[in-house]
Amino acid sequence: MQELTGLFLDSLRLLAGFDGNLVEIVALSLHVSLSAVVISGAIGLPLGALLAISRFPGHGAVIVLVNALMGLPPVVVGLLVYLMVSNAGPLGVLQLLYTPTAMIIAQAVLVTPIVTALARQTLEDLNAEYGEQLTAFGVGRAGRVATLVWDGRYSLLTALLAGFGRAIAEVGAVIIVGGNIDHVTRVMTTAIALETSRGNLALALALGFVLMIIAVAVNGLVMALRLTEPRSAHA
Amino acid sequence: MRESRSVLPVTATGLHIERDGRRLVDVPEFVVSGRALTVILGPNGAGKSLLLRTLCGLVQPDRGRVLWGGGAPSRALALRVGLVFQKPMLLRRSAFANVVYALRLAGVPWRERKGKAMAALDRAGLAALAHVPARLLSGGEQQRLQVVRAMSVAPDILFLDEPTASADPASTGAVEDLVRRAAAAGTKIVLVTHDLGQARRMADEVVFMNRGRVVERAPAAGFFRQPHSAAARAYLAGEIVL
C-alpha cells in the first residue's frame, strides 16, 4: 500500500514538474491524433454528406460496410498500414515506417469510418427533416449539403470528437507502424505499455493520468456541445 | 437563379396517383389561375393534400403532368411557387435567419436581406421574435413564420396545406389575416382545408374533392348555398361522406 502511495506521489511530481520527457510524449500524441482527425474530417464529412443525400444501387451495402468499419481492430489497421509502408510494400519508397506520418495514416484509417458513419447518420436525419422544404425552395445538391452541414455543425463536431477519443486512446496501430521509438514515435499509449513492462510505473501512471484527463475533457466537451446545441444551433 | 416568367396558370392534365391499387388522385383536368382565393375542401383522405403537393412539384404523379405557366416545373421556378406545410417546416435557425435564407435563394443582395427580412417579420407582427430560434416558437407563430418566409420572395402563387389544422383560434385568425393580405397584394392563393368555417371565411371559389376526384368546383357563395353534388351536400350537412 505504501508503495502505491509513493508511486502515486512520484507520478504527481512528474506531472507537476512538467517533466520534459512526459511533455514530449504528450505533445507527440496530440500532434498525431489531431492530424489524423483533421484528415478523417476532410474525407469523412463530405463522404458522410454524400451518403446521406444520395441514393444509388448498393447504397445500403456501403452504409453497412462503413458502419462495420467503425469497429476495425486497431492492431489489424496497424498491420495493414505496416504492409503498405514497409520496404516491401507499395508505399515503401516513401520510407514512412516508424515515423509519426505512418502513425497519422494508421489513425486516420481507424477514425475515418467513425466520422463518416456518424456524419451520415446526423445529416440523413436532418435531411429527412429539411428535405421537402429545400425541394420546395428549389435548392440544388450543393446548396443542400451546405445547408445540412451548417445546421448540423454541432453534431458533426461531436462526430469529430468521438473520432479523436478513439485515436488518442488506441495503442495497437501506433505501436505497430510507429515502433515506440524514444523521442521519435513514442506516444502516451505506447509509452504506458512500455514503461509498465519496464517497471517505471511512476511515468506510466503519470501518462495514464494525462490520458484520462484528455478523455474526460473530450467527453465533457461533447456533452457541453450537446447541451448548447438547442440554443445556438437553432439561432 | 430566378426566371422572370410567371408560373401561372398552374395546370394539371390526366393526373392519376394510386398506391397499392387504391386510387388516391384522379383529376383529368385542373387549372389554377386568376386572382380568386381558391379553397380545396373535402373530408380527410379525399386527396386534397396530395393534389396540392403534386401541383407544387413535390410529388410525381403516376400518370399525367403538371405545367407551370405552360412549361415544365423547374428548380429555377421553384421560388415562384410558395408552399406552407401543415406541419411547420422551418430551419434550425432564428425566425429572422429563416426569412434571410429564402431571400438569399431568391438572389436578394446581402445588403438588402436584413432590412427586407425585418420588414417582412414586422408586417406579420413577428418582429419581437425575430431572433428566437424558429423551432422554439409556438405552433401558431411557426405557421405565421412559414407564411412570411414564403411570401418574402413574392411568389406568384401560394399553396397552403391545412395551415391551421392544429392552431388555436387566435393563431388561426392571424394566419388567415396574413393569407388575405397576400391575396389582396395579388398573389394567387390555393388553400387546402377540411375546416368548413375556414372555407366559408376565406373562399372566393371552392373546389370540393372526395375520394381522389374533384367532385364540384364553384364560386363560394353558390357552393355553400346550394351544392350540386350529393357528396358536397352531405359534407356541408355534417354527415359522414363515403
Are A136 and B81 an interchain contact pair (Cβ–Cβ within 8 Å)? yes
pLDDT-derived band at A12, boundaries 50, 70, 90: confident
Condensed to tens digits (0 to 9), the pLDDT of residues B175-225 reads 999 999 999 999 999 999 988 999 999 999 999 999 999 999 999 999 999
Condensed to tens digits (0 to 9), the pLDDT of residues B29-76 reads 999 998 899 999 998 888 999 999 999 989 999 999 999 988 888 888
DSSP B71: B
With CA atoms as reference, report the closest residue to A113 among A65, A76, A156, A79. A65
How many A/B residue pairs have CB atoms within 8 Å? 54
Residue ranges with strand state E in A142-185: none
Per the prediction, chain A carries an average pLDDT of 90
Are B91 and A133 an interchain contact pair (Cβ–Cβ within 8 Å)? yes
pLDDT-derived band at A3, boundaries 50, 70, 90: confident
Condensed to tens digits (0 to 9), the pLDDT of residues B142-167 reads 999 999 999 999 999 999 999 998 88
CB nearest B93 (choices: A133, A136, A151)? A151
Contact list, A139 vs chain B (CB under 8 Å): 75, 105
pLDDT-derived band at A231, boundaries 50, 70, 90: low
Domain of residue A30 covers 21-188
The pLDDT of residue A177 is above 70: yes
For the record, the C-alpha cell of A58 comes out as 448498393
Chain B nearest-CA distance from A166, in A, is 30
A158 assigned to some structural domain: yes
SS (H, E, C) B87-100: CCCCCCCEHHHHHH
> Can you list the pairs that B118-121 forms with residues at least 24 positions away whose Cβ atoms lie under 8 Å?
B120/B148, B120/B149, B120/B151, B120/B152, B121/B95, B121/B96, B121/B145, B121/B148
More confident residue, A225 or A31: A31
Are A234 and B135 an interchain contact pair (Cβ–Cβ within 8 Å)? yes
pLDDT-derived band at A233, boundaries 50, 70, 90: very low
A129 assigned to some structural domain: yes
The CATH number assigned to the domain holding A125 equals 1.10.3720.10
CB nearest A235 (choices: B57, B58, B93)? B93
Phi and psi for A138 in degrees, rounded to 5? Answer: 75, 30
A201 assigned to some structural domain: no
Mutation for A interface: B86, B87, B91, B158, most A CBs within 10 A = B91
Give the B window 112-151 contacts with A, CB below 8 Å: 131, 133-136
A157 assigned to some structural domain: yes
Question: CA-nearest residue of chain A to B73?
Answer: A138
A204 assigned to some structural domain: no
The pLDDT of residue A230 is above 70: no
Mutation for B interface: A137, A144, A149, A154, most B CBs within 10 A = A137
For A215-231, letters b (16+ CB in 10 Å) and e give eeebeeebeebeeebee
CB nearest B91 (choices: A132, A151, A231)? A151
The pLDDT of residue B3 is above 70: no
Average pLDDT for residues A116-130, to the nearest whole number? 93
The pLDDT of residue B98 is above 70: yes
Give the A window 110-149 contacts with B, CB below 8 Å: 129-130, 132-133, 135-140, 143, 147
* B77 interface with A at CB cutoff 8 Å: yes
> What pLDDT score does A131 carry?
87
Mutation for B interface: A123, A127, A130, A133, most B CBs within 10 A = A133
Residue B15: strand pairing partners? B27
State how many domains chain A has.
1
The pLDDT of residue A229 is above 70: no
Class of domain B10-236: alpha beta
A110 assigned to some structural domain: yes
Question: CA-nearest residue of chain B to A131?
Answer: B89
More confident residue, A31 or B3: A31
Q: What angle do CA A31, A34, A35 make, to 5 degrees?
A: 80
DSSP A67: H
3-state secondary structure of B25: strand
> What pLDDT score does A1 carry?
65
CA dihedral over A170, A176, A180, A181, signed as positive or negative? negative
With CA atoms as reference, report the closest residue to A203 among A193, A212, A213. A193
A217 assigned to some structural domain: no
With CA atoms as reference, report the closest residue to B58 among A123, A131, A126, A143. A131
pLDDT-derived band at A147, boundaries 50, 70, 90: very high
* A63 interface with B at CB cutoff 8 Å: no
pLDDT-derived band at A111, boundaries 50, 70, 90: very high
Q: Where are the domains of chain B?
A: 10-236
A40 assigned to some structural domain: yes
The pLDDT of residue B1 is above 50: no
> What pLDDT score does A234 carry?
45
Q: What's the complex ipTM? A: 0.84
Are A235 and B97 an interchain contact pair (Cβ–Cβ within 8 Å)? yes
What CA–CA distance (Å, rounded) separates B205 from B188?
12
CB nearest B92 (choices: A139, A143, A234)? A234
> What pLDDT score does A211 carry?
92
Lateral strand order in the sheet of B22-32: B22-32, B10-19, B63-68
For the record, the C-alpha cell of B95 comes out as 425566425
CB of A32 closer than 8 Å to CB of A164: no
Contact list, A231 vs chain B (CB under 8 Å): 133
Average pLDDT for residues A39-59, to the nearest whole number? 92
Residue ranges with strand state E in chain B: 10-19, 22-32, 38-41, 63-68, 81-84, 157-161, 188-193, 205-210, 213-219
Are A137 and B91 an interchain contact pair (Cβ–Cβ within 8 Å)? no
Question: CA-nearest residue of chain A to B158?
Answer: A136
Residue B172 to residues A163, B147, B186, B195: CA-CA distances in angstroms? 48, 12, 21, 11
